[in-house]
Amino acid sequence: MAAIAEVQTVNITVNDIEVAVPKGELIVEAVKRVGLEIPIFCYHPRMKPVGMCRMCLVEVGMKQPDGTVRKMPKPQAACTLPASEGLVIYTDTENVHKDRQGVLEFLLINHPLDCPICDKGGECPLQNNTLYYGPSTSRYVEVKRHAAKAYPLSKYVTLDLERCIQCGRCVRFTEEISGDAELAFRFRGNAMQPSTFGLLDFTSKFSGNVIEICPVGALTNATYRFRARPWDLQTKEGICTGCSNGCNVWVDYRNGGVVRINGRTNEAINEEWTCDKGKFGSSWFGGGNRVTSPLSRVGSQLDKVSWSDAYANIVTELKGVSANEVAVLASSAFSNEDLYLLNKLFREVIGTNNIDHRFTKTLPTAADRIEVKLGSKKSPSTIASFESQKAVMVFGTSLADDEPILFLRVRKAWSNNGAKVIVATDSATDVDTFANVVLRYKTGTAATLAAGLALAAGVKGADARFTAAYVAEQTGVSAELIAEAGKILAEDQASIVTTTSIYNEEGAQTAVDTLASIAVGTNGRFDHFGLEANTEGADRLGILPDVLPGGSAAKQAGLNTHQILEACAKGEIKFLWLAGVDLFNTGLDRTLVEAALENVSFLVVQTASQSESVPFASVVLPLAPSVERDGSYTNIEGRVQWQGAVLPAKGEAKPAWAAFADLSMRLQPGMPVFNAKNAFEILTKEVSGFNTTFEALVGEGAVL
């Protein structure tokens, strides 16, 4: 077990209370140890202190040998003052009160005071600080300045410049956290304003965070603007299902609809940040194209029917076909409970192994798994552990698009800890902006570059034919850069990161195998992450044609996604169930998809909203989306988290697990599943590797 680093402490006095704090800790944080709070505007604990707003002024002194305190002649900013031995802090003196009143009076001179119509009203730090620390009346009677209202920085972020207090939080976020540096201050004095360079659109993939950290109503949510007041909203904890990171969020809802998503703190995953895909991607939940009742085909049209009739149609059809003529393609955004009961229905009750959740060009077999080939874990790293990596290589993926929160962690490792970063892709990505080595290879040559890196890193058994000169000729990457990357891999025990998006490249499986061998050969880590909310859960639960729940290989492999569609097109598969999947939105060949859906005899489409697949359906089952059902999700690091239902399901929509459980009971009566928690408890008992309990999911979740 690694030794815990000893923290050096110093003794300080806060309002006559002596306390030991870590040496160098900022006073604004140190006073919290004695239950005090210093008001702030510009300070943010995840960004470097700048002391711009002066709201955190305190009186400071030093203890003298005779026990007296010698105060500094002027107040100090607590957000930039580090703790040192003998420091004495006063946060509640008459001078401090006057300083705070003065700062607030200046901030309010030109502030429009339009709180009744401001979206920040009711949750505004400026309002709160003015109430607690500000003057009771204003001496300012002159005409206030005016600026353009509701200026659209982007389709998500609206700027009300009159309200800006020039704290710099938004600018610093884009420079220090997201790294795109799209915002900056223009002009000087009272004309200073945050804006994009060249007044272009604010296109950051993390722009929504500046809305949340803005301490006033200057930056507002364009999709939420004027839709509600904070006291009109109800809020519940949620898990974002927009990608596989599993970010923790607050879901704000009103009148039965989601109106806003905000980041929720989970230090193990997203800290408190969100990406725009997750923050602004919830509007469809309450959209008009929702499917809210079962539909069954009568002639050329789909008519509304009861759940019982829909089940009866499905049961009748299943009894008329053999198990080998049945297949299911499932969404890996389904919860663990959904996928577990799907597997029970199709494998154990119906008896088919024609099951898959993958839609990439390359579909690895059970024998291709890293656990089988090299005996190493597919994804051994946690998200937070990337901050302490000495080196990271991102290969074949746009990390900011595929794993946005992991992108922030990798950038943090580089900016805060000096981690060396290598990026190897066939097109420009956001990682390029800070990478030490950029390997831009020709499309289709990923496997060749991986082999060259293995040789350059000195991996035992690497193919000697792939010299730097040969690989440079084939891939377009210079021999010098290959050698430099190889040296980093060999010396710094790098974590090699790729995602399942690499399976859309030529030679993908060879590239993945080679990358894994580099990690093993250099004592590094190989992290191969999925893209959907529960891809990791789908893999562990055996939503694969040749892998059973828990990871063991199936005795008789079923058909994979491509084979299922080809069999449907030929009429060999007569019953196809699309579980939360719109095949036209998966990147698969449209001609093959159309042929499959036109020629399969019976098609069940289980969906939350209308899609291109619905017109082909024999039966349509309404699906409750993630905010309308209970369930657990397994993120890229194997962390299982619980998502409770935020809203009741619309119409007759059901969670997927409930439909699978109902149908299982009709086909093979047995013990019913009563709710998602019950399904989870059964799952953990029956599936090896899900070694956790429901109680363990509270808080930051449980890592399997």
Q: Answer whether residue 3 shows pLDDT above 60.
A: no
CB 169 within 8 A of CB 368: no
Q: Answer whether residue 2 shows pLDDT above 60.
A: no
Distance CA 648, CA 257 (A): 10
**Which residues lie closer than 8 Å to 695 by C-beta, 6 or more apart?**
none
Does domain 9-92 match CATH 3.30.1330.10?
A: no
* CATH 3.40.50.740 residue window(s) in the chain: 295-357+543-703
Across residues 575-579, what is the average pLDDT? 97
Return the pLDDT at 376. 67
Across residues 612-630, what is the average pLDDT? 94
Q: pTM here?
A: 0.93
Q: What are the DSSP calls for 22-34, one per residue?
A: ETT-BHHHHGGGG
Strand partners, 69: 63
Q: What are the DSSP calls for 471-514, one per residue?
A: HHHHHS--HHHHHHHHHHHHHS-PEEEEEGGGGGSTTHHHHHHH
Quick: pLDDT tens for 418-460: 999 999 999 999 999 999 999 999 999 999 999 999 999 999 9
* CATH 3.10.20.740 residue window(s) in the chain: 9-92
- Tokens representing 470 are 């040969």
CB 502 within 8 A of CB 396: yes
Amino acid at site 235: T
Return the pLDDT at 367. 87
Across residues 192-217, what is the average pLDDT? 92
Nearest Cα residue to 404 out of 177, 185, 613, 599 = 177
Strands 248-254 and 234-239, bridge-based pairing: antiparallel
Give the architecture (CATH level 2) of 233-286: Single Sheet (2.20)
Q: How confident is the model at residue 65 (pLDDT cuts 50, 70, 90)?
A: confident
Quick: pLDDT tens for 110-137: 899 889 999 999 999 999 999 999 988 8
Percent of the chain with pLDDT over 90: 84
Residue linked to tokens 């499309």: 443
Q: How confident is the model at residue 206 (pLDDT cuts 50, 70, 90)?
A: very high
Return the pLDDT at 203. 93
Across residues 310-324, what is the average pLDDT? 94
561-570 and 590-599 helices cross at what angle (nearest 10)? 50
| Residue 395 DSSP SS3 | strand
Strands 602-607 and 619-622, bridge-based pairing: parallel
Amino acid at site 371: E
Q: How confident is the model at residue 487 (pLDDT cuts 50, 70, 90)?
A: very high
Q: How confident is the model at residue 368 (pLDDT cuts 50, 70, 90)?
A: confident
- What is the phi-psi region of residue 568: left when phi exceeds 0, alpha when psi lies from -120 to 50, beta otherwise? alpha
Query: Quick one: the chain helix, strand, coil %, rounded to 5?
Result: 35, 20, 45
* CATH 3.30.70.20 residue window(s) in the chain: 103-221
Q: Answer whether residue 296 shows pLDDT above 70.
A: yes
Mean pLDDT, the chain, rounded, equals 93
Separation of CA 609 from chain center? 23
Q: For domain 295-357+543-703, which CATH number applies: 3.40.30.10, 3.40.50.740, 3.40.50.800, 3.40.50.150?
A: 3.40.50.740
What is the homologous superfamily of the domain 366-529 according to CATH?
Answer: Dimethylsulfoxide Reductase, domain 2 (3.40.228.10)
Percent of the chain with pLDDT over 70: 98
Nearest Cα residue to 560 out of 507, 506, 503, 634 = 503
* CATH 2.20.25.90 residue window(s) in the chain: 233-286
**Which residues lie closer than 8 Å to 238 by C-beta, 6 or more apart?**
248, 249, 250, 251, 261, 264, 626, 627, 643, 646
Q: Answer whether residue 4 shows pLDDT above 70.
A: no
Class of the CATH-defined domain 103-221: alpha beta
Return the pLDDT at 525. 92
Q: Of residues 554 and 604, which shows the higher confidence score?
A: 604
Return the pLDDT at 288. 72
Quick: pLDDT tens for 648-658: 999 999 999 99
| Residue 645 DSSP SS3 | coil
Quick: pLDDT tens for 515-567: 999 999 999 999 999 999 999 999 999 999 998 888 888 888 999 999 999 99
* CATH 3.40.228.10 residue window(s) in the chain: 366-529
